Amino acid sequence: MLLALSIYPLIYSVKLAAADRRNFTRLFTDRLFLTASIQTIWLTLSALSIEFLLGLALALLIDSLARGRMFFRTALLIPMLLPPVVAAVAWRLIYNPQFGVLNGTLRRLGFHTADLTWTSGESSALASVILVDVWEWTPFLFLLLSAGLQAIPPEPLEAARVDGAGAWRIFRDVTLPLLKPTIVLALLLRTMDLVRIFDQIFILTQGGPGTATETVSLYIYRTAFRFSNFGYAAAMSFVLLAATLLFSRGLLRAMRAR
């Protein structure tokens, strides 16, 4: 199974990409690939920052509760349990400018919604995609960080309180350093997912309007399955893989050095 589904396709992809040297040299002159790469980086950094901060805040908040921890943890995991395709379809209906619940609610509150096209506007399409990803995958970071908080031994925290340290000092000097391995794992996993984001964008915007939400994964899909240029698509896939590996290794080295 591993040979048929993973190893053979990998070897075949290398063969396709290396069949023509122009597949790699073309990357440096392809403006659409450059645009898709920049937007992928921007989407990854924006969504990752928001999801991490929200996930950490929720983990700290739920961990501080005396009652109801299990209920809130279960409730917060519901978005993550939905398949990405289902979540994207649901949000596409929510974003509908005429019949969507978002514009409908805003109209009831007295807002003018004629110009609120969400996924159809060049300035709002990427932000709308980021919002969907934040809604669905913040619970994943919350889950990892919450588990990391529970694994921290109570003795250092109690010793800091005895020494008179405040809540912020305890968080900065005790909790955050002990939570560092979990933070690195969470950031790595989410970064690898965000770099390969496809489902939400394909259903919500299909890369539009124009190229406002075009990402590398979507561009690879179009190149391979709409234009049948499998060699160039394979070359882009390996470049994306190399970039992800370099980022992951750099993050691990930085955290180890600190």
> Could you give the C-alpha distances from 72 to 66, 77, 120, 201, in angstroms and in order?
12, 9, 34, 29
Q: At what angle do helices 31-63 and 125-151 cross, to 10 degrees?
A: 40
The CATH architecture one would assign to domain 43-213 is: Orthogonal Bundle (1.10)
Instruction: Return the number of other C-beta atoms located less than 10 Å from residue 140's C-beta.
Output: 18
Query: Does residue 137 contact residue 193 with C-beta atoms inside 8 Å?
Result: yes
- pTM of the full predicted structure? 0.91
Q: Is 99 helix (H, G, I), strand (E, B) or coil?
A: coil
Give the chain's largest Cα–Cα span.
Answer: 67
d(CA 137, CA 69): 19
Query: Does residue 194 contact residue 44 with C-beta atoms inside 8 Å?
Result: yes
d(CA 61, CA 48): 20
Q: Is 169 left (phi over 0), alpha (psi -120 to 50) or beta?
A: alpha
Query: What ranges do the domains of the chain cover?
Result: 43-213
pLDDT on residue 257: 60
- With 0-12 / 13-18 / 19 or more C-beta atoms within 10 angstroms meaning exposed / middle / buried, residue 136 is buried
d(CA 142, CA 150): 12
Report the run of H or E that residue 75 belongs to, with start and end. helix 69-76
Report the run of H or E that residue 21 belongs to, with start and end. none
End-to-end CA distance of the chain: 41
Residue type at 36 in one-letter notation: A
pLDDT (tens place) for every residue of the chain, 258 residues total: 888 888 898 899 999 999 988 899 999 899 999 999 999 999 999 999 999 999 999 999 998 887 888 888 889 999 999 999 999 999 999 999 888 999 999 999 998 888 888 998 888 999 999 999 999 999 999 999 999 999 999 899 889 988 888 889 999 999 999 999 899 989 999 999 999 999 999 999 999 898 999 999 999 999 999 999 999 999 999 999 998 888 888 877 877 665
